[in-house]
Structure 1
């Protein structure tokens, strides 16, 4: 089994190569997608301003109030069905889901979160409609048919929650004992102008906490380090390249491997 996470940067730039290659692994894959840029575009069209929070350690996340949640669910559902339609055009009868369907992904709403403000001070703010994953019914995602999952979870109160797509991917991979391929818009973790080909969990965690790594890569490396300690290999590669999944499995990109 492999778990494939198609990042938002790929979804919004050109998902065609990633989706075409995903079709080649329909019998052995679970797919999760992002799409934050599409959420931003929809919010702006609706007259809403996207907001982001910086957490201690430098990880950045979307602030999800109720209006943002509505836009998030709309945008992610659109992406989900366009990916399913693209697979159908290639003869693959995929099923598109959110984590709320069948309660596949359960999460606990973050009541409060710690952030770093513009002056560099830590403070506690309302968590909005973002969630921390507490359970994933990974077996419900097994093929056939190929499942395509949007990063929306269900709370114990029946609320829809914004959850991190990378984290869902790591949770599914760990539960299935699968290899995880994360498709971004870069060739892997790049340090000093070069792709870092292989990391163990400690090295990945150290780099994630350093100034050498910024943005969403910090979160990816931290989660990959945790997954590697549980026996899951993670590969970060460029989803805009030809046959990105096949290339990643053949050795391209950055591989975070169990010790």
Structure 2
């Protein structure tokens, strides 16, 4: 089975359980780890004395405002802190992991969004200095080469344009793009909730499964990071991923629990229970 694991940046406290499961499963399955690093990025930005800023699009999506200094801090945090920690955790369990960014070898090609519309108070303005990008292509040959050497790829943003400019990409969207291009059997988006919740204030209201169309219809009613996850899941299914799963990364043996069906399964042919 081909599995893409999105290791959420909010899951540092359960890193040992995540690493234990990946080490157990990579003996029989091909695994790619994609990670963000929101907590490490925030810490690095604060230590450098930079402001933490976000952009809210007119349709409600919230993303990090990434000017040049913030992009530098982002790369320092994800490669030097988050990725180094994940590679170390896997190495301690006998897994030979290779840390990559989307820039390495042209792994994740992007197109920079030269101008974005964002809500500031009661007005909508055009922002032109945001170094964010949209994924246009994933070179899966690099990932296959790493697997061919018996190693596990550990991938993080940023991506890179054809002109060589680094651009920030949401890690959930990067994971979805990689899963689609690689034709993954399962994309697991690990987060700090039990799954997609019918009522965001009630952890027991996890939705067991959603069809692709049900997920798309639900996006506008979701908030925070879950909105981005479900929107990205729909994109991944449209581009070739088979099944996306939003699942709890805080539990014991989180990958094993996900393979047993915990969390929310999103895929073509699936429906609500």
TM range (shorter): over 0.9
Q: Quote the offset at 1:122 in angstroms.
A: 2.4
Q: Which stretch of structure 1 is more off in the superposition, 47-56 or 227-236?
A: 227-236
Counterpart CA distance in 1 for 2:36 and 2:20 is: 17
1:209 counterpart SS class? helix
Structure 1 residue aligned with 2:19: 19
Structure 2 partner of 1:209: 220
The TM-score with structure 1 as length reference comes to: 0.94
Q: Is the 8 A contact 1:139 1:176 kept in 2?
A: no
Specify every segment of 5 or more residues in structure 2 that has no aligned partner in the other structure, as ranges.
none
Secondary structure of 1:139 counterpart: helix
TM normalised by structure 2 equals 0.89
SS in 1 for 2:111: strand
Q: Is the 8 A contact 2:109 2:138 kept in 1?
A: yes
Is residue 2:190 matched to residue 1:186? no
User: What is the alpha-carbon distance in structure 2 between the residues aligned to residue 64 and residue 245 of structure 1?
Assistant: 32
In the alignment, what sits opposite 1:253? Answer: 263
Residue aligned with 2:233, SS: helix
What are structure 1's unaligned runs of at least 5 residues?
none
Report how far residue 231 of structure 1 moved.
Answer: 5.0
Is this contact kept in 2: 1:153–1:161, CA < 8 A?
Answer: yes
Q: CA deviation at 1:106?
A: 1.0
Provide Cα deviations, 1:94-127, integer angstroms capped at 9, x if missing partner: 11111111111111111101112211x3221115
How many residues are aligned here?
255
Which residue pairs with 1:177 in the alignment? 183
SS in 2 for 1:216: helix
CA RMSD of aligned residues (A): 1.4
- 1:125-167, Cα deviation, whole Å (9 max, x unpaired): 1152111111111231132310000111112221222111111
